[in-house]
Structure 1
Amino acid sequence: MEFSLKHKICFLCIMVLLPALCTSQDTFTSSRATYYGSPDCYGTPTGACGYGEYGRTVNDGQVSAVARLYRNGTGCGACYQVRCREPQHCSSDGVNAVVTDYGEGDRTDFIFSRRAYAKLASNPAAAERLFAYGVVEIEYRRIPCRFSGGANLVFKVHENSKYPEYLALVIQYVAGQNDITSVELWQEDCKQWRAMRRAYGAVWDTPNPPSGSINLRFQVSGRAGEKFVQANNAIPGDWKAGLSYETDIQLN
């Protein structure tokens, strides 16, 4: 039985596109990595993403500052597998790190916490050699974020918020391979969604937030395209600066 022209075109498309679809997620990009010092080898609570203590300890402190991958803050919270290009002294899997800060080095894409940098090595003795090198040749790829215990999405009210006239939020535990590209809150009196501003990094803010509990929705950009995810009553009416409010949402 002969294929019709339509079937031949479809078959050709599959043969051309399938290899790219199967390998695109496995493609590594070459770069360099270094590290920054901290008293306890964790991350820094003053990172440009605005995560605070979360940015210091998330992923067991295996975190990184990035330069071009920061993407004006959209890259905050993204996860990457990073491994050495030269296998000597290094493990084959490398480290899975979370982006929590912005930083520029000597042609580096990653500036790791000491905990993350040490994970590149095959053993503690090899880690000391990597620290002595200061900079290593690496390759990296983006991977889905996974948090221990399957953590739900959390909205943290930033410490700079002032009840009730100014609200700033940080979205934490964004699992999967997703970027938060916009955040909106429901304005009941106008019956419409009102956009929040990306203040910096992963911090979204608005003056004069609605009174009462606050419904939020945020736009997610990921492997499946873009979509809005809604969180009703995400922030209570008596919200307080510095407190975190867990949702029942898990992105994947």
Structure 2
Amino acid sequence: MGSLPAAAAALALLSLLAVGSCRETQFDVGDAGLDAENFNTSDAAKYWGPWLPARATWYGQPNGAGPDDNGGACGFKHTNQYPFMSMGSCGNQPLFKDGKGCGSCYKIRCRKDKSCSGRTETVIITDMNYYPVSKYHFDLSGTAFGRLAKPGLNDKLRHSGIIDIEFTRVPCEFPGLKIGFHVEQFSNPVYFAVLVEYEDGDGDVVQVDLMESKTAHGPPTGRWTPMRESWGSVWRLDSNHRLQAPFTIRIRNESGKTLVAKNVIPANWRPNTFYRSIVQYS
């Protein structure tokens, strides 16, 4: 049993390498205005902060959700469905934040291109952009990129390739959704991995903790055990004992807000299964 966590972690890493992610930009990065400055991302993290300049590209199908499997480096699936609705975006490091930016929401708009409508649209960080063409770079799904265009000019705007945009961080709004947890495929009694999805409000996750319902000998634990970020929005716990479900999960956001989903993972939990819960805020 002791070798299971290591094997599961290795399999999880292989799955990360296998998923689709943002395609390598087809443009010459040296000509795209990218400089070597060290930049502070605090302005990008502020809700309704200043509108910041960025550049946008798109990938995948013109009216698609991004990569072929509708997933990416965050681990999210079905990004063509609610609440993502194909409005996902790869973000470069100041937006992706080594996975802690997964699920963050941003208002974006474009004005300089003649095909731009100037309207604001909301996009969600669902993937990692490894080949940025600017200080802040949104590699949008084809759907999200087209939504920035004037009526009837979606394809013309896509043909522009790289466009200048502006963005600001906003809270995520997912009416009718509870927080969701997907227990990952290789989870077992001593290795537990969970994908955090559909987090209303902040959207991002900077720490996840797990509380077992009881100790191996029976009494309630009352103790939080920190989980480790595995990749993207997947968090894991390698245990030296058989974990005692049901599990309560606590999430901390970048803003410092804490959410608790009590007994969200039932005693008879199964791998590769979604569980949803209401949350308590603190």
SS at 1:128 equivalent: helix
Runs of 4+ in 1 over 4 A off after TM superposition: none
Contact kept in structure 2, 1:157 and 1:243, CA below 8 Å: yes
Which of 254, 257, 269 aligns to 1:221? It is: 254
Give structure 2 stretches of 5+ with no counterpart.
1-45, 216-220
- Which residue number corresponds to residue 200 of structure 1? 231
The question of whether the paired residues in 1 share the 8 Å contact of 2:47 and 2:169 is answered with no
Mapped pair 1:120 → 2:163: no
Tell me whether 1:231 sits opposite 2:261 in the alignment: yes
* Distance (Å, rounded) in 2 between the aligned partners of 1:246 and 1:27: 34
Q: Which runs of 5+ in 1 are unaligned?
A: 1-22
Deviations 1:166-194 (A, max 9, x none): 21111111112353211111143354211
**Alignment CA distance shift 1:72-1:131 (3 Å):** same
TM-score, length of structure 1 as denominator length:
0.80
Alignment RMSD (CA, Å): 2.3
| Paired positions, count | 222
Q: Secondary structure at the match of 2:84?
A: helix
Please state if 1:130 is matched with 2:153: no
How does 1:50-129 map onto structure 2 within 5 Å? Answer: 50-53=75-78, 55-57=79-81, 58-67=83-92, 68-86=94-112, 88-103=114-129, 104-107=131-134, 109-124=137-152, 126-129=153-156
Cα distance, 1:90 vs. partner?
1.4
Cα distance in 1 for residues equivalent to 2:279 and 2:110:
35
CA distances 1:144-178 after superposition (whole Å, capped 9, x unpaired)? 1112x42111111123x333232111111111235
Cα contact 2:183–2:194 (8 A) shared by 1: yes
Q: Deviations over 1:179-238 (max 9, x none)?
A: 32111111433542111000011110112362221111122232xxx2332222110122
TM-score (norm 2): 0.72
1:156-171 → structure 2 map (5 Å cutoff) = 156-159=182-185, 161-171=186-196
Question: Which amino acid in 2 is paired with 1:119?
Answer: R
8 Å CA contact 1:175, 1:250 repeated in 2: no
CA distance in 2, matches of 1:65, 1:174: 18
CA distance in 1, matches of 2:222, 2:275: 24
Paired amino acid for 1:106: V
| Aligned counterpart, 2:243 | 210
Q: Identical aligned pairs, as a percentage? A: 29
Cα distance, 1:87 vs structure 2: 5.6
Greater Cα radius of gyration, structure 1 or 2: 1
In 2 relative to 1, CA 227–105 (structure 1 residues): closer, same or farther, beyond 3 Å?
A: closer
Larger relative helix fraction: 1
After TM superposition, give the deviation of residue 105 of structure 1 in Å: 3.5
**Which structure shows the bigger proportion of residues in strand conformation?**
1
